[in-house]
Structure 1
């Protein structure tokens, strides 16, 4: 393959890069003479942070340039080799930006003057952007009218800044380069990227210490699953949500690293979604953990090339989906090793003669979903310029590292220049995708609070869950936070135990109630989150158990608190009474009824105004950003009971003198399974679940009693009663047939009503949500959200006083995990659901969507008419 001009003209020696990750050095001029050499590196002042210095040498002097080793800076002296030539050229100052450019061709001066092709300069910016995601010391700033302030805050005279027309790259807050100086930017930053990579690689190839290994837990696995779907899902979740751990990487064998690269290629290098910063960090770390390419076997080199090739394909697909699809079909999933060739602006794949390729146009990569009939493009779901930038930078980093470090240099020909049209300045990224066109949406965007504070509240609540009827600290946090917003909140605590209501009286108008539940579950958390719960509490039976917010109530509370701040801030635009109801014990099905029984609406007790409308919401294992309503039935009823069967115990060797309750319970369980299959109309629906059987614990002892726990779900009141009566009939009949010493005992443990959304209330929510959420990045509204599989007692707060209710739902599953599982067809198997020890909603966009849902719902009735 012919060498590019970049390779042909590259100096035989890489430019000097006095770079040390932990030290700071600075070169500066003492003379105006162009031929003068810079002084030796000097210690940098405390208020300056120049982490690298770059020098360029004319080709005529390359042979005479001695090898320069990294300078070492200590408190007293700087030791380095003899100073070297640092040529300077006078460049015109950019009249628009006020900066001295380093890239003449970008500034339109022509390559004859500076010897730089325009694609060389663009390659430099790609290197900067790639490196920015792995070297924190590199900054970029958008090209905006206000970026002069950034320059002045950094250096005062714009030194060390480089511009490509869309972004400006700079060293952090220090004159790393003298004014009016040109450098070889592509070479310099590629060298810096490779230096950082090799440094990191060296660290990852050290053996982990005993302390490092001891610090690892189940959230940092080091082995790769072989045929274990649960372990595979755990690893995938780890790659999406947990940054790589140093000891974790050091402990990995090479086959694990390659297995993870294949997992990333399959689930993260996709045309249909962006690459998250966490996945980017994993890619960087996994590549650095690889051994030298010379030690790899053919299969490992193949995996590495496939990884790089996939990055090329995804990079191409961002602008040319059809071309990427054709290239992918040409290469084929099972093709022999190929040679990548670049012909002008077209990309082709030349397969080796030893390979026999397929021309079947239906051949699809296993890592993507085939477009529907008639759709020739693949929709890219990248939603923000920031996300797109991270994706492009990651792809460029992959191609650069695999090409430069691992010797697959043919891939370097595919590094795609970035153009200004692809970027939106960061000052514009806060602008929503679709400009709000209605007053309510404008209010929400104007008064939405800064959610960083609420993200911290959510994490605190998640780490400190409390069981039903024990939500004391949660209630205290709510009260303290509302008082921090304003003393205008009229707070009524202690309703139904730990429940509370907060009222905001704001003139005449509708009274609307927004509800959030507070309690957690007796579940052991296994998410591996930094803020995972380790708490234990005694439950209602006095048994100590692990506690987790496994149903998302921490998100409900946080979202309603954020909505409270938003509605308080926008109070001049609405009129009426806002009622925030923080409910206890939803998980036991008793909290809402307890608040009603305790006199929530009674003037002589808590005297909360009877609402005109009640709204509630719940986070679900849907794709994060999804928000939906549904008219009519939205959640089943639920009835749970504990049944005790009474026998006569004794020694296991004398069954003829006993009445075995275990056999009685087993027969009862089997007979209960016939209720749904033989007694419920096939056009109806019901569920009967035996969730627990408890009897003795000694092998040679038959106990007196056996207990079974039964849960019933139904969607029709008549079916509900029919199933409950059938359970009672069967249990009593089995006890009688087993000669039980007395009738079985029934204890109802929880009872949830049907949740039915009012038609008119939900119709108004449809109108408001449908007009607002298109303006929220990452949100996707639907009026046909799936029915809730579980049950809710929320509606009791409305039906107890004959008031209409509506219950909305929103998703909390990480979008990348959801998309990967959807593509595989494994949503049911791999997406954790509510009440699982693996369930947790991602913070964003979940929190934004939930907060807006509460606020938009309230303003649908409270907003003043324009």
Structure 2
């Protein structure tokens, strides 16, 4: 199913029918959540604009993390900082009951912003290799941090209405697909209790601000970042007969990779193999000793992942041998960032939809986009926990007529990771996320009996 087909699906089918959502939350509590969220709208939008103008790359979110920690401390949360570098986990214990976690990511992207926003970023940073890059919140993590703070306030103010333990996570380096695992490896669960449910949300401009969506099944793909280091025998450009040229080996390898998905993977299984960077050589008249191919893999099933990795090694090693690369200089493979696929359990979605409709209204509940090959690393926060479930929510960040325009013209606004990415009416989008996230947490922590 394509996106347009998904949008055409009757919105009434995306939520339970009217009259069936009253059980999701007490009407007085729903109204209180609305009021608490809306009362913060102006301040949260101000926070968002500050974060947008001051973005930070993965594992460099020092100022963002300090602001989050300060505000959560002020609210009375037990705050743990510096987890996995710059990550934060905050705990609010409120009697007996389940442990529920809500996670937001903090990092921005190495992009030069190309919007006309008055709070646009013009920030530049120096990378470890000495080069400089512009930085931009082109994926909306500034809004994620903002609604995390809003949810923290609501949950603090509604303590009489829930029982259990709430854990809020501000995670670094999602864009690197490394931050969630870094927090776990750095002892996250030595500091906070293991959750029974983990909720995460992401903003997308394909839905209008003020709306949300949850959809069952596959949502986002698993991902790997893989560096292939090619070793040759360097020499003078005038004497190629005395060399083993990694430039040619790299070119052949890139072309060989193009048939891996089409000739190795079951056509019914989604998979993507992208060569995002080729870094081989520097001078016109020098055949270099080595080079690096930077690959990105996307998949939904673990056997497909293994097929991709195995085929990459087979093709590259075969070409290296054919080129005459010595056995002691065969290609090397470095696995870097990794993310597991994101799935929404059908039973959790059936629970979440009426809860969301109770606080936002049924018209604000979108059908959810079809499965995509983009990735999210938040499942790694709990992948080692046997009984923990996850729920992924989409938050609208587009113009009011974004769906209408798409249906009539097929055009979408600049999407995430685009220099022109922009959240329309961010205050409305963030407030909707605060209402939605808070109600999901309150319902999952609802006292029994």
TM-score between both structures, scaled by the size of structure 2: 0.88
2:117 aligned partner: 529
Deviation per residue, 1:487-539 (Å, 9 max, x gap): x2111112111111111112222211000011111111112211111112234
2:376 aligned partner: 792
What is the CA distance between 1:747 and its match in structure 2?
1.4
What is the CA distance between 1:806 and its match in structure 2?
1.0
What is the CA distance between 1:801 and its match in structure 2?
2.1
Residue of 365, 386, 392 corresponding to 1:781: 365
What is the CA distance between 1:596 and its match in structure 2?
1.2
Residue of 34, 43, 54 corresponding to 1:445: 34
1:231 aligned partner: none
Distance between the aligned counterparts of 1:710 and 1:595, measured in 2?
24
Residue of 610, 614, 619 corresponding to 2:198: 614
Which secondary structure does the structure 1 equivalent of 2:43 belong to?
helix
For structure 2, list consecutive stretches of 5 or more residues without a partner in the other structure. 1-7, 9-18
Larger radius of gyration: 1
Residue of 213, 232, 240 corresponding to 1:655: 240
Distance between the aligned counterparts of 2:303 and 2:309, measured in 1?
10
**Native 8 Å contact 2:161 2:442 kept in 1:** no
1:837 aligned partner: 419
Q: Does 1:706 align with 2:288?
A: no
Distance between the aligned counterparts of 2:304 and 2:402, measured in 1?
38
1:468 aligned partner: 58
Which secondary structure does the structure 2 equivalent of 1:622 belong to?
strand
For structure 1, list consecutive stretches of 5 or more residues without a partner in the other structure. 1-371, 373-433
2:213 aligned partner: 628
2:334 aligned partner: 747
**Native 8 Å contact 1:516 1:617 kept in 2:** yes
**Native 8 Å contact 2:83 2:188 kept in 1:** yes
Which secondary structure does the structure 2 equivalent of 1:854 belong to?
helix
1:860 aligned partner: 443
1:501 aligned partner: 89
Residue of 379, 387, 394 corresponding to 1:809: 394
What is the CA distance between 1:784 and its match in structure 2?
4.2
Q: Does 1:590 align with 2:178?
A: yes
1:39 aligned partner: none
Instruction: Select between 793-802 and 517-526 the one with higher mean Cα deviation.
Output: 793-802
Deviation per residue, 1:244-265 (Å, 9 max, x gap): xxxxxxxxxxxxxxxxxxxxxx
Q: 1:540 to 1:781 in 2, by over 3 A?
A: farther
1:557-572 alignment to 2 at 5 Å?
557-572=145-160
What is the CA distance between 1:718 and its match in structure 2?
0.7
User: Over aligned residue pairs, what C-alpha RMSD do you find?
Assistant: 2.1
Distance between the aligned counterparts of 2:371 and 2:202, measured in 1?
12
Q: 1:631 to 1:540 in 2, by over 3 A?
A: farther
What is the CA distance between 1:461 and its match in structure 2?
0.5
Which secondary structure does the structure 2 equivalent of 1:619 belong to?
strand
Distance between the aligned counterparts of 1:609 and 1:639, measured in 2?
29
Q: Does 1:848 align with 2:431?
A: yes
**Native 8 Å contact 1:620 1:834 kept in 2:** yes
What is the CA distance between 1:746 and its match in structure 2?
1.2
Q: Does 1:639 align with 2:224?
A: yes
Q: 1:788 to 1:542 in 2, by over 3 A?
A: farther
What is the CA distance between 1:853 and its match in structure 2?
2.0
Q: 1:466 to 1:731 in 2, by over 3 A?
A: same
**Native 8 Å contact 2:180 2:381 kept in 1:** yes
1:687 aligned partner: 272
**Native 8 Å contact 2:100 2:197 kept in 1:** yes
**Native 8 Å contact 2:41 2:427 kept in 1:** no
The structure, 1 or 2, with the larger RCO (C-alpha pairs under 8 Å, 6+ apart) is: 2
Deviation per residue, 1:258-283 (Å, 9 max, x gap): xxxxxxxxxxxxxxxxxxxxxxxxxx
**Native 8 Å contact 1:613 1:798 kept in 2:** no
Q: 1:620 to 1:784 in 2, by over 3 A?
A: closer
Deviation per residue, 1:294-346 (Å, 9 max, x gap): xxxxxxxxxxxxxxxxxxxxxxxxxxxxxxxxxxxxxxxxxxxxxxxxxxxxx
Q: Which structure shows the bigger proportion of residues in strand conformation? A: 2
Distance between the aligned counterparts of 2:83 and 2:230, measured in 1?
37
Which secondary structure does the structure 2 equivalent of 1:477 belong to?
helix
What is the CA distance between 1:762 and its match in structure 2?
2.8
What is the CA distance between 1:613 and its match in structure 2?
1.0
What is the CA distance between 1:542 and its match in structure 2?
4.9
2:3 aligned partner: none
What is the CA distance between 1:817 and its match in structure 2?
5.4
1:39-118 alignment to 2 at 5 Å?
none
2:315 aligned partner: 730
Q: 1:784 to 1:460 in 2, by over 3 A?
A: closer
2:16 aligned partner: none
Which secondary structure does the structure 1 equivalent of 2:146 belong to?
helix
What is the CA distance between 1:815 and its match in structure 2?
2.9
